[in-house]
Amino acid sequence: MTLRKFVSMIAGLALIAAVACGGGKEVPDYGDDEDDVIEQPAAGDTAAAAGTPAAAAPAAVANAATVTGLVKFEGAPVQMGSLQMGADPFCASTHQQPVKDEEVVLGPGGELANVLVYVKNAPAAPPNSTPALLDQKGCQYFPHVTAVQVGQPLNIKNSDNTLHNVHAMPETNRQFNEGQPVQGMVSTKKFDKVEMKPFRIKCDVHGWMKSYMAVLPHSWHGVSQANGNFTIANLPPGNYTLVAWHEKFGTQEQQVQVGPNEQKQVSFTFKG
Amino acid sequence: MKPQEPIPHNYPMSRLNAIFAISALVLLAVTGGIVFYDYVRGWKWFQMEFMRIQQERIEQELREKNDAETRAKLAALDKEMKERQVQIARHRSDLVAAQKDLDREEGRHYAADQDYRFAKALLDAKRYELESAIVKKSSSRKQKQREFDELSQRVENLNLRLQQVTRERDAARERVDVWLGRIKEVEDRRKELTAEIDLLNRQLFSVSRNRDFFILNAPMLDFVNPTMRVEQVVLNDLFIDMNYMSVPRVDRCQTCHRAIDRPGFESKAEAQRLIEDLRFKLDKNQFTKDKRAEAEERVAELERLLARPEILNPFRTHPKLDTFVGSASPHPMLDYGCTVCHRGQDRATEFSRAGHTPASGRMERRWKKTWFPFFPLPKDYTSRNYGWAANPFLETPMYPRQHYEAGCLKCHSNQVAVNGSDEITRATAMVELYGCHSCHKINNWRFSDLQKVGPTLDGIAEKTTPEWAFRWIANPHAFRSTTRMPAFFYGRNMVGPGVPAEERAQNIRFQDAEIHSIVAYLFSNSSNRQWQGGTGGDATRGKEIVERVGCLACHVDTETVTVDGKTRKALRTDFPLERNFGFNLVGTGTKTHAGWIYNWVKNPKNYDPHAPMPDLRLTDQEASDVTAYLVSLQKPGFMSQPIRPANPAAVRGLAKGYLINTMSTRDAEAKLDSMNLDEQLVYLGQRSIEKYGCYSCHDIKGFESLKPIGTELTIEGSKNPHLFDFGFVHDYEAWDHKHEHIIHTVPSWIYNKVREPRIYDDARTKPYNDKLKMPNFHLTPEEARLITSVVIGLTKERVNDSKLASMDARERLMEEGRKLVSQRNCRGCHVVDGYGRAIAPLIADTNFLPPDLSPQGRRTQSPWLFHFLKDPTVMKIRPWMNVRMPTFHFTDEETNRLVEYFAAAGQSPLFDMTRFNDPPARNVAIGREVYTMLRCAQCHLTTPVDPANPPMPNVADTTSLAPNLSLGRVRLRHDWIADWIRRPDEMIPGTRMPTNFPRSAETGEFTSPLGGAAIDGPGFAASKARLLPLFQNEEELRKTMSDAVALTNYLRDYIWSIGITNMREARPEADAPVMTVPQPPRTPPPTPLQTGEGAPSVSAPAMR
């Protein structure tokens, strides 16, 4: 082992040199230690760099554009059955006529309601502290489909004089299941992760009650109304991918370019 | 004065001078070299690098702290300070006068104080004189008394004066302080503002290379108090084996692994994991107020970590600090050190000598590399090249990183579960499931009473045909790709590409003969009952039953999987371990016949009393349907593979080889001449079963008392590399066409051995019977890695009892129960100890999932659990369930073991007598009202029902899918009910039972939905009216309504009051078999075999 000793000695000299020179100043280009490839830069670093909200959008959007649109359905009209609310007399008593299942809500001209349209590649947005509302009324969720922003408070209200339980079943965010036995009760929840694919919120007491919710990193989204119209307001100019989601008919994407103060019209068509 | 004559010299002086000068220089250089050698060590580079990392971090934090806002505030303070100083300067004369005044007063105070003290001392002396005079009755005592009184008076006066002077001094001081205080107040504010910055600056000083650093660490001076030094942990009761002697371990790993016990240097993955963990608890409001702030602070810190560049080893924090290394963990560093788990040379501080082991060939190449050929320079360390060479004198090199958890087994090998999330838990379960222990003896293993992993072969003739058996033994993976039966024949050392053609043909003849002989032996020694029944079923219904009742918790029913859009043959690792517990159902119809299947699914114990499969209580019709379905599962083409007939010369040759071990060649020949081919085959079969150790995994008649054939593995992890035959191979292609590389370490040898067991025969010339015979399990890289972790974890190193986890009576009970849980594969359906439920992905609706048993011991009463385990038909709690709890036909002893285990795991007493106590009527009345107000009846029924046969609810109506509460009293524990109502989601995550008493975000306490003004709502008017008489006044009522704990206790009392108190006891019944009278075994064996379609082929079967 004499060679080793000699080697260590010389190495020592080199070390002294390093100390004297103030050491290596350059930042070492390490790979991920748990991956023995050292040539490539650590994936996490670049991701982190890309994810830094360096160019956070200003609070008030200058030259904001508005995207409005129409969602239509093509194909044989889908007839939805009525919701059987007989299991809870209270629910049945709140409606004069049977309520149609809200899975597919079609207008006379094929306008499709309850389609969530959101911007997929939007710039980072400031946090939103205005609470969103999910109401349980007449043993139905209002709105049936919606989106909240990450960290935005969500008030869940029970307007019915019956027991509801709010069982949110997100995949990325945390599940919760809270009972609301008292009329007028409000629980406030937050989601801390982006979950673009809408997840289900259900009531275990009333099997027909369903609502869908997406958690977006921003608030640029709209939900089509009974007339098929939706609006995404206050959008900074730029090139975007719009995503339209429907609980039965799936997802569609569309590229749009919006200029300063533009009123952009788009349309989506789902096929049955 | 000049010497008169020259002094005579024997040597030429000038040459001598030169020699002296040179040797002095050489000695100086050598001394310098020694100093350098002693001074300069690799670890110092790591310490300096860590200082640099800290320095960068502190500088960044300083920049963040010292932002514009802070600077502005500081500037404002400085300005204020200046103003006040100016103000003071303006009134300078006043201040000076006041100061002078104070000085004078201080002087007076000092003088007065002194006077008083001296007088007081004098008084004490006088008191003594007086007292002694009184005792001695001296004549001068009157005189003394007078003097004492006078002095007392004087002291009193002096004291008064001192008080007066003190007051005047304090007044003077206050006059000065008014001036100075103005400055001091600003100074204090400034200090407060810069406290964090000052702290950071102090920290920065300690990690930067300043003048102090160079002086303290200078060569020769660094013995005093160096900042760079070897850090060590002395472990007096953990020993390392140093050739014939055990010495206490002194772990110096922390010398380079600086941040190992210091949070804040986690890898990003670990940071992410910790954030998840904390967020979960924060979301669920599981913190008290102070802890909450602490947790939020920690999350923020970890998130900052995510934004920084990745920290790399050796500077990372140890993962899972709450389990390892951390001072509050079960393995604190000061008590356990590092090398007791990781192995390696404890005292070494140099990279190679410490025993670092590369994880792969790639890592090995990187470690070995240096820029300068002979030794690493700082430049190399920066690119993580260490000039590594294996330390051949180290008996215990470190475990490479993919086998870190091997170290757990040193202390925990006799434990069933260390922690459900740990790899080693899965690895040990895998070793047992695949039956490694069957052929390889392992002492100190957690189970000493394991069943054989293969099915019994005593009745093979009842089940299948010799034609199927031959093809199965020849290539089990061709029949079922996920099978645990390994391939013994036609391996790469027999028919592989490296084997010469002539030898290959001979090997094939031998292998054929051996398979024929094994089949002949098995069938000639099999019982031969004729199983009947199972006709008239419907395969479609049968498939539906198999998918519905829970068969797929233990069995897989497919051989193809689609991953990322690509369809391929399934591997065992495509399914949870628990679903590989039973055989893959594919091809069952090809393997066996309806009569056998029917009786097997009706009650497996009829065929084999030790069968691990439980009884699912199928009706005759259900069993017939299942039979029809399983018969329809055919493996087309399998039975038409050609079988070559046994070559008589090969049979004779092999048999002779065995015979001549015990008799002369002539006797052997004579004996063989006296046997026909069938007899020779049976004889050779017996020998071949012995050779390959089939009896290790299967019950075979005639092999009841034989010992396992494999190498004992008890201390395999302690063997040195030179005890392993690495052969000639470095790179090869494994059975799944993946490239593998062998490095010269024990873990690598074992990994490649289990991955491709015959690999070390490549390029070897060995006689037929000496060739490696370990069979090929077709292990994936992942499986091979896990099994290697277990094998290298089996070492001869022993740890002091003081450092072993001590098992008290409760823990021993739990271990016993866990064994049964693992042996009966309970985790196929249930979550036990927080993990399991392999069947979950197959059940879409969570309402139909088998229950989570983690809180079982706290949940149910022992008598109920006993009867339910013995006979699950005693009570149907959830009649809507499709999956059936099978009847395991547990013995009373086994049932009690499980009951005790659950009670112990739930930290509950085995029995509680509350079942017989009726709750107070007032509590019940309040409970009933709260039950109404919270609308529990929306889902739960309370009408008493027959426990064994409750009415089937309307499954489409989810409201009715809640247990009937009248079953609570015989089943649930009294304390559980209230606790469950308070926090269902914490007990069983994802449960349908809603949280009605959510925790407050601030305090972490439970809140009540009936608290506050809720009770005044119009909906509750009637309830309030009924409740008021039960309370002293409205205030008490309001208080109770906002008290979650009280409310849940009332609810519990109400539920208790409506419960039935009796249920029937267990009556497990077994279905009787359907078969004809047993017949004697068939002899002679059925040879020759039917050879299927096509002519006998002499070409070798595919190698793999």
Within a domain: residue B21?
A: no
* Residues B46, B49, B53, B59, Cα dihedral to 10°: 140
A40: in domain: no
Based on the fold, state whether residues B421 and B457 are members of the same structural domain: no
Residue type present at position B279: R
Split into its structural domains, chain B has a count of 6
- B129 and B152, same structural domain? yes
Token pair for B208: 């930067």
pLDDT tens, B415-428? 776 675 688 888 99
Could you tell me if residue A152 is inside a domain? yes
Q: Which pLDDT belongs to residue B731?
A: 92
CA B679, CA B672: separation in Å to the nearest integer?
9
Q: Dig out the tokens for A193 from the structure.
A: 């992760």
How many independent structural domains does chain A possess?
1
Closest CA to B785 of B750, B837, B825: B750
State the amino acid at position B1045 in one-letter form. V
pLDDT tens-digit map of B768-780: 999 999 999 999 9
In chain B, which among 979-1018 make CB contacts under 8 A with chain A? 984-985, 989-996, 998, 1009-1010, 1014, 1017
In this structure, the answer to whether residues B866 and B739 fall within a common structural domain is: no
A99 lies in some domain: yes
Q: Which of A3, A13, A161 has its CB closest to that of B40?
A: A13
A253 interfaces chain B, CB cutoff of 8 Å: no
- Is A263 inside any structural domain? yes
Higher pLDDT, B1101 or B312: B312
Q: Which of B626, B628, B608, B630 is nearest to B617 (CA)?
A: B626
Nearest CA in chain B to A192: B279
Residues B795 and B820 in one domain: no
Read off φ and ψ for residue A99, nearest 5 degrees: -90, 135
Query: What are the angstrom distances between the C-alpha of B739 and each of B403, B563, B569, B730?
Result: 20, 21, 19, 11
Residues in B touching A18 (Cβ below 8 Å): 45, 48, 378
Give the pLDDT confidence of B30-86 residue by residue, as tens digits.
Answer: 999 888 888 888 899 999 999 999 999 999 888 888 888 888 888 888 888 888 888
Write out the E strands in B255-325.
Answer: 324-325
Is residue B875 one of the residues assigned to a domain? yes
Q: What pLDDT, on a 0 to 100 scale, did the predictor assign at position A22?
A: 41
Residue B465 is part of which domain span? 453-529+647-711
Tell me: pLDDT of A1 over 60: no
What is the value of ipTM here, to two decimals?
0.73
Contacts of B41 in chain A (CB under 8 A): 8, 12
Report the CATH number that the domain containing residue A141 is assigned in CATH: 2.60.40.420
Identify residue B942 by its one-letter amino acid code. T
Residues B412 and B377 in one domain: no
Quick one: DSSP state of residue B353?
A: T
Tens of pLDDT, residue by residue over B535-564, are 888 999 999 999 999 999 999 999 999 888
Q: Which residue of A has its CA nearest to B218?
A: A16
Q: Which of B514, B512, B491, B496 is nearest to B644 (CA)?
A: B512
In the block, residue with structure tokens 């897989």: B556
**Residue B931 falls within a domain, yes or no?**
yes
Q: Quick one: pLDDT band at residue A82, thresholds 50, 70, 90?
A: confident
Q: Is residue B46 part of a domain?
A: no
The verdict on residue B416 lying in a domain is yes
Query: Which of the residue ranges B315-329, B358-372, B793-807, B970-984 would you say has the lowest mean pLDDT?
Result: B793-807
For B:797-816, CB contacts with A below 8 A are: none
Q: Measure CB to CB from residue B42 to each of A11, A30, A167 and give the nearest one.
A: A11
Residues B676 and B553 in one domain: no
CA distance A233 to A74: 27
Structure tokens at B235: 């472990």
Calculate mean pLDDT across residues B499-518: 94
Task: Out of B169-173, B190-194, B457-461, B926-930, pick the least confident.
Answer: B190-194
Find residues 301-340 of chain B whose CB sits inside 8 Å of chain A. Answer: 306-310, 312-313, 316
pLDDT at B572 over 90: yes
Strand partners for A201: A168, A211
Whether A28 is covered by a domain: the verdict is no
Q: 3-state SS of B385-414?
A: CCCCCCCCCCCCCCCCHHHHHHHHHHHHCC
Give domain status of residue A7, yes or no.
no
Averaged pLDDT for residues B150-170: 92
Whether residues B1004 and B881 share a domain: the answer is: yes
User: Can you say how many angstroms the Cα of residue B141 is from the centroid of all Cα atoms in its chain?
Assistant: 89
Size of interface A-B (CB pairs under 8 A): 168
Q: Do B958 and A24 touch (CB under 8 A)?
A: no
pLDDT digits (tens, 9 = 90+) for A6-64: 555 555 555 454 444 443 333 333 333 444 333 333 333 333 333 333 333 344 567 78
Average pLDDT (B577-601) is 93
CB within 8 Å: A11 and B39: no
In a shared domain, residues B355 and B433: no
Mean pLDDT value across residues B165-178: 89
Rounded CA-CA distance B733/B44 in Å is 43
* Chain A neighbors of B374, CB-CB under 8 A: 3, 7, 10
Q: Contact B982/B1045 with Cβ under 8 angstroms?
A: yes
Interface of A with B in 82-141 (CB under 8 A): 87-88
Q: Same domain for B578 and B600? A: yes
| B211 touching A (Cβ < 8 Å) | no
Burial-class residue B642 by CB neighbours within 10 Å (0-12, 13-18, 19+): middle
- Comparing CB atoms, the residue among A10, A24, A204 nearest residue B382 is A24
> Do residues B139 and B252 both lie within one domain?
no
**Is residue A8 in some structural domain?**
no
Range of the domain at A249: 65-271
Is-contact A215 A148, C-beta < 8 A? yes
Cα–Cα distance, A171 to A194 (Å, whole number)? 10
**What's the mean pLDDT when you consider all of chain B?**
88
Q: Of the candidates B539, B568, B534, which has an alpha carbon nearest to the alpha carbon of residue B780? A: B568
Q: Could you tell me which chain A residue has the CA closest to the CA of B315?
A: A33
CB contact under 8 A, A7 and B957: no
Region label for B325, one of left (φ > 0), alpha (ψ between -120 and 50) or beta (otherwise): left
Contacts of A34 in chain B (CB under 8 A): 267, 269, 401
In this structure, are B919 and B834 located in the same domain? yes
- B462: helix, strand or coil: helix
CB-closest option in A22, A24, A163 to B938: A163
Using pLDDT thresholds of 50, 70 and 90, give the confidence band for residue A206. Answer: confident
B740: nearest Cα among B710, B785, B703: B785
Tokens encoding B157: 């006066």
Tokens for B817? Answer: 């129960």
What pLDDT is stored for residue A25 in this prediction?
36
pLDDT value of residue B812: 83
With respect to residue B387, please indicate whether it lies within any of the assigned structural domains: no
Residues B638 and B673 in one domain: no
- Please list every residue in chain A whose beta carbon sits closer than 8 Å to the beta carbon of residue B279: 174, 192
Q: Which of residues 19-38 of A touch B (CB under 8 A)?
A: 19, 22-24, 26-30, 32-34, 36-38
Q: Is residue B700 part of a domain?
A: yes
- How far from the centroid of its chain's Cα atoms is residue B1's Cα? 92
Residue A203 counted as domain residue: yes
Q: Is residue B19 part of a domain?
A: no
In Å, what is the CA distance from B150 to each residue of B154, B157, B397? 6, 11, 90
